Chain A
Amino acid sequence: MRLLAIVLTGAVAFAAAPALAGTPQITRKPQKKKVDVADNFYGPKKLTVNLKSRITWDWTEEAADVHDVKLISAPKGFKKFQTEPASAGYTYAKTLTKPGTYKFICTFHEEDNMRMTIVVRH
């Protein structure tokens, strides 16, 4: 009986699909996310956010050394950027306006695998 109900629900949904095709997609709400910049890592290392989310990189008190954030790979149409080299107390914010995958490195500590990825979804 339970299985039947699921099958029926699925059938109804399928039948309704043509009617929904022309309606706009539901857009998730933009978020505000913080990324720590420290010696020698970004935290978190991977992040998934909604479209138009604002990311703030925050050089923590443990950033005794100099680090930067360089966008090395981005969705088409998004302008790449690189922060100035900075240390504890510095912040930098950017809104990610294109869906897709963004890859970042610290140009000083790339060898130490200081890199991160942000996936922006619709």
Chain B
Amino acid sequence: MKRYARIAGLALVAALAVPAAAFGQYPPPSKPTPQKAPKGPFHTLQVCKDGCRYKTIQAAVNKARPGDTVKVRSGVYRETVSIAGASKRYIKLVGNPKDPSKVVIDGSRGKAVPRQNGVWVNGANQVTINGFTARHYNGNGFYVVNVTGYKLTHLKATLGGVYGIYAFNSIGGEMSDSEASYNNDGGFYIGQTPPQSTPKRSLVTRVKSFGNVIGFSGTNMRYVTITKSQWFNNGTGIVPNALDSEKYAPPEQNVIIDNDIFWNNFNYYVGAPFKVRKSGIGVPYPVGVGVLLFGGRHNDVVNNRIYGNYLVGVGALQQILLKQKDAADLIGNSVRNNQFGLNGTDLNGRDMVYDGSGSDNCFAGNAGVQAMLPTDGSAFAACPFTGANAYNAAAQAEAFGWAGDATHEKFWIRHPHAPKKGYTPLEHYKK
């Protein structure tokens, strides 16, 4: 998840990345495993409701050999698609990249037990999924696990029970030109990235995420660049976070750069187009936050436009309840050259919040900052900075206190939004 931290809180942060060698020697990942690129010849298998050899996507996938293309024509397909194992590596599942809304996989009807995943890729490297909409799945829209290399592009994932577009325990992938909306947890989620001695980075670019509980969740995520994307009208915008529930804490070496992160004030507790699930554990992240670094090392938040988030623009907090104590502190993160408050026309409740925990975290070149916690700015060391940061227990307590608010709005500081053509602020969902 992470929608729920074992506790919850808010804080903010940052610091400068250091050379990979400084992070210590990681063991190679035990999985996923390498797979040979297929040599062909390659074939294209056609799927459609009438007149094609295959009437279901799964039937075509079952016949596909490594590197083949499964081309799916327009229509609504009520099924779950599984692409599993090395025998399905390098497969391309192609719908309509120009208009993904024309090729829909739908989990809403037809089975007593609800369908869980729209497309599920497990252990098949370098699979491409391009040009689909997944909706109404009880679990996830598009989901890859245990792979090296994946491409999820021109996708829409909406009204999912948990995550929209999701990669877990995987190395080096791409999520691009896609949209996730009204999902019950993260619209986009990359979790449990195996540490690597020679990291393969993942890229999230040109995506939109809105109406979700969390726009982007990254539990123990590493080597991910999130860029040129819009994160708005979610409960919380982007949350790289350290949790015990998954392997390889904390999140590391991620870069959040050149994004628009605004209006993340969707109080889904008041109303939502999905049934809000109450986990048996933890407390949810507070509503009204643009970016929250909840534990983490060497993550950079750079050159973003961050505005209209009623609680906090960028927060960084120590993950105080993490069992793995050596991964709880914020180390070497940076928040640099961001523009807060849209030139004073669409202010955040508080632009930056940081409990001053950890070391080597720094802040520099951020424009439009009007409100901070701690208010005296003592925690916000200028870049570059090495050494222990100025821990502020009162600021930490205040930020964590926000998570316990039953209304989820009590600590908001509302400001008027600047009009934005084609966009409407979402705070309370109405049918």
Contacts and interface: CB of A to CB of B under 8 A. Distances in A.
The answer to whether A and B belong to the same complex is: yes
Interface stretch (B62-70, B112-120, B193-201, B411-419): B112-120
A40 B6 CA distance: 11
B36 interface: no
Contacts of A121: none
Interface stretch (B50-58, B274-282, B421-429): B274-282
Interface stretch (B94-102, B231-239, B241-249, B369-377): B241-249
Contacts of B246: 108-109, 111-112
Interface string A41-65: 0000000000000000000011111
Contacts of A62: 277-280
Nearest to A60: B280
B184 interface: yes
Interface stretch (A14-22, A25-33, A87-95): A87-95
Q: Is the interface of B mostly helix, strand, loop or mixed?
A: loop
Contacts of A74: none
Contacts of B4: 39, 64-65
A65 B116 contact: no
Contacts of B3: 64-65
B138 A88 contact: yes
B26 to A, nearest CB: 16
Contacts of A38: 280
B82 interface: yes
A86 interface: yes
Contacts of A110: 247
Contacts of A108: 168, 192, 245-246
B114 A65 contact: no
Given A87-B116, A87-B277, A90-B113, 16 more contacts: A39-B4, A39-B280, A40-B281, A63-B277, A64-B4, A64-B279, A65-B2, A65-B4, A65-B162, A84-B120, A87-B139, A88-B138, A89-B161, A91-B113, A108-B168, A112-B244
Interface of A: 38-40, 61-66, 84-91, 107-112
Nearest 9 pairs of A and B residues by beta carbon: A64-B277, A64-B279, A62-B280, A112-B245, A86-B116, A39-B279, A87-B139, A111-B247, A87-B161
